[in-house]
A and B are shown apart, each in its own frame.
Chain A
């Protein structure tokens, strides 16, 4: 009986500690980082921006342009269900709303806004945690814009 009584506070303390730890972990995983990179692709020259080196395979494998230059890049830490607006060259705005994280995949709602016209693109997709997708086609005076949208769950 005595040993049972002694154990009770220990069990309670351990349970509280574990519950707190689990809650801490859950809270720590509530943030998300959204990363938008805009690349100008052209068929003139053969420049490959060294800042895009880690995405060389993607760019060369997906698109048949001869030159790639990073024109803008922005990362933002935010919460789920919080829409984020990113400025894209040419007076465009990309609105990215992280919707959730399920099975290590992030769901994103993305709308490209261009003036008062109907949005040229409105899409909903999921990418793996730390993954990205390319949206391509918007015109630029010097070529075509390729927009990479990436996301990752950020422990806080």
Chain B
């Protein structure tokens, strides 16, 4: 069993899900049973959320189009691009080719749509779909067992109910 100090040192990795499953589970179990650590984790979670939100807003402010306009001229054309430029020039200089490119593009798009639709249709439907928050809300729980515990994993917040005569 982890101590409160050990748990609190790992709040960041816990919230990011950047540690192995066993440690995550031990942390989740401790937090589920320790009101002080739970309160600290909630506070940490709010700070973490606010920080991530701030970063996202700042990143959104960057004008990517203007940034790219500055970067593009600085980039020298790679050597491998020369043969492609030659082929492209010859292709475009062929007579009667003006209608072929849009037709080919349309055919490629159609093929892509058909392929994607086909792949989607053949996806197995038996497995559950991943969703943003999978948190269960337990309204009542009556278990005839020596050990009963409820905990959630921190990423999708999927909930587990343990009920057995042996420890999880």
Q: Is there an interface contact between A57 and B155, defined as CB atoms closer than 8 Å?
A: yes
Binary contact readout B105-141 vs A (1 if CB under 8 angstroms, 0 otherwise): 0000000000000000000001111110111111111
Q: A120–B25 Cα gap in the complex (Å)? A: 24
From the candidates A53, A58, A138, name the one contacting B158 in the complex (CB within 8 A): A58
Q: Which of A55, A59, A121, A146 has the most CB of B within 10 A?
A: A121
Q: Is there an interface contact between B155 and A132, defined as CB atoms closer than 8 Å?
A: no
Interface membership of B90, Cβ < 8 A: no
Residue on A nearest B142 in the bound complex, by CB: A122
Q: Is there an interface contact between B128 and A124, defined as CB atoms closer than 8 Å?
A: no
From the candidates A55, A64, A105, A146, name the one contacting B127 in the complex (CB within 8 A): A55
Q: Is there an interface contact between A35 and B159, defined as CB atoms closer than 8 Å?
A: no
Residue on B nearest A152 in the bound complex, by CB: B129
Q: Number of contacting residues on A, CB 8 A?
A: 44
Determine how close the nearest CB of chain B comes to the CB of A37; give it in whole angstroms: 8
Which secondary structure dominates where chain A touches chain B?
A: strand
Q: Is there an interface contact between B133 and A134, defined as CB atoms closer than 8 Å?
A: no
Residue on A nearest B133 in the bound complex, by CB: A128
Interface membership of A82, Cβ < 8 A: no
Q: Is there an interface contact between B162 and A137, defined as CB atoms closer than 8 Å?
A: yes
Q: A75–B28 Cα gap in the complex (Å)? A: 30
Q: Is there an interface contact between B160 and A133, defined as CB atoms closer than 8 Å?
A: yes
A positions within 8 Å CB-CB of B: 35, 51, 53-55, 57-64, 73, 75, 105, 107, 117-128, 130-139, 144, 146, 148, 150, 152
Q: Show 25 A/B contacts (Cβ-Cβ < 8 Å), sorted by A.
A: A54-B128, A61-B17, A62-B25, A63-B25, A64-B25, A64-B168, A107-B139, A117-B144, A119-B142, A121-B142, A121-B161, A122-B140, A123-B140, A126-B139, A128-B134, A132-B128, A132-B134, A133-B159, A133-B160, A133-B161, A135-B161, A135-B163, A136-B160, A136-B164, A137-B145
